[in-house]
Chains A and B, each alone.
Chain A
Amino acid sequence: MSLEVTAGKTPSAARLRKQSWYQRPRFKRLVAMVVTAVVMAQVTGVQGVRNDLFYALEENFTGTGIWIWLGIFLAIWAVREFFQDWARQALARVKAAAAPLPEDGTAKAAPGGLAGQVRRVADGGRRLSTLFRGHRAYQAGGLGALLLVLIMLPLMVSTFWQQVMVDQIGMFLLIAIGLNVVVGWAGMLDLGFIAFFAIGAYSAAFWTGGLPVEPPVELNNFLVVPIAVLTCLIAGVLLGAPTLRLRGDYLAIVTLGFHEIVYLTAKNWTEFTGGTRGANSDRFSLDLGFWSYEWGLDPAPYYWLQLAFIIGVLFLFLRLEHSRVGRAWTAIREDEVAAASTGVDTVRFKLLAFAIGASTSGIAGVIYASKLGFINSEMFLVLMSVLVLSYVVFGGMGSIPGVLLGTAILVWLPEYLRDTVDAQDRYMYLGGLLVVMMIYRPQGLWPSRRRQRELRMSQEGTGSADALGAQPGGAQG
């Protein structure tokens, strides 16, 4: 009976098609703007106090601050909604003025006034960009200038920011570049990447004689770097070999387990690692006979050392991206069966991705241990792995400039917020930023062209955006 009733009732198409006023995009955008204004008022307003739970909310929502922010964001919304045509026309006029003169139109001189100004600026920009694109010398000059700025950077900032640049930004940059190989290029989700960082750091402590056990020979940190890299390569292969058949979520869980194994070993094997009480590590020192130098407490020399390592790694990895190896990784990420059928040894290249990705963590580990002079197991929490992964995704998986930018910004932000918001709240804003970013710009800050294409295609329904290649069943076919 009841079956007949439900089967007989056709839902009203008109009712299903109806869109309520609050579902219209215009209203949704208004809500988004109001929420942003409220958040901004809260971020820039007064801080909370312990004895009055709602002090900050009260202050910030009754003062003038919130009205200023609401005004700004409502104005943006209004311009976007009601003056769009006008804004578009204005933009078109500017574009027309800035467009290059047609070849035969040389007789027509640049018009005066504002349009002429725009044209002159645009022409200048075009000339500059062709200059840079056309001449290697100018490109080299640009890179040189950038390098100079990077070298001079520590001299321009306070010691606090120097510390942040060395202990956090530089270190995470090295790790993120490595993780990008595994996640961005080979398409394997790794949630335990900090394990390799820990292995690098403990290698440094071991070979410089910092651990409770004696190394066969005590080595200089510069010699420890290749050893740590090698150790991480081997660890990468050890992790990779048994897990190669797994993909997507399954692989992620295995890497998480690997991280826990490394972390718990560091924590509980106190006779070897020192556990939570930690171990000491030597500082970098260089002795060339006629000249010797020891890296001390000053962060700036460490910054330069780290910069040199990062530039070296970047040079190698940028070359790798467009090599046969890089192409093989892309093919594996796209379709493993097809990759194998074109002659790509999928097993070998996946192992290689794990190993090469792990290697930069080795360098980062040695520098970190040496810079702090002390390590303990609590520095290598699984949270760190998740953070690094979010840096890579935020910047743009598979794109080296994106990963560099994303890491730098996300590491910088909480440190910057230290002065503006409550110290405990800093990561809340970071989380909010990540959520907003993933909704509105999932391809990352500076995505690789291929990744952008993947996302666009998945929106059009012609491909899968899941570059991590999770396939039902978990095992490859």
Chain B
Amino acid sequence: MHRFANPTRFLRLANAVLPWLGGLTAILFGVGLYQALVISPADYQQGETVRIMYVHVPAAWAALAGYASLAIASFTFLVWRHPLADLAARAASPIGAGFTAIALVTGALWGQPMWGTWWVWDARLTSVLILFFLYLGHMALVNAFDDSDRGGRAGAVLALVGVVNLPIIKFSVDWWNTLHQPASVLRMGGPKIAGEMMTPLMMMAGAYFALFGVLMILRIRSLLAARRLRQLRLAVQEI
């Protein structure tokens, strides 16, 4: 555990992975966008608006996975007090907030023509909005203290409390009547999406997750450099 959490070792590994992950991200976005905008057929009910699904659904998945990573990092930081876990949590929340914003906005842009409304307060939409505020709250809280460690702990507690929201988001469409449709891919009895539409969806999902990895590496490197800067500035003052 601590062997992999050593910052120097992390940097060496992350920097080796970065160019490959970056290239993969570019390729997946290229192929995914072409598939989503050109190759994919229109849907038998939604028509061309099915193309919005290719940017909306992966964003929602990445938003959920991002929160799961945030929660795991927070848990690791609270229990083992490992500084790198704190940095991973701090790196994850703005990325997660971005993906959640994409899911909310593209969902509204799909809802207006299809449902007939931009927004409703049903269980799915409301719980995803709460996810967005949890991310924003985490971003604010970790920087709200002069003592960075206290900020990290406060943020970690918030992140863990917010974990209850994850199953609520996932199962909201099964537990209650919602306007939002039930899951199409991760559902009992297998996916309900035709192959021609599954391929672009999976390409885009791969692209989002690869980008997630790239962003995490860049942001953790940033945070490590910031920590190093604080130490160096103190040392410069001493000289």
- A, B co-complexed: no
Q: Chain B interface (Cβ within 8 Å of chain A)? A: none
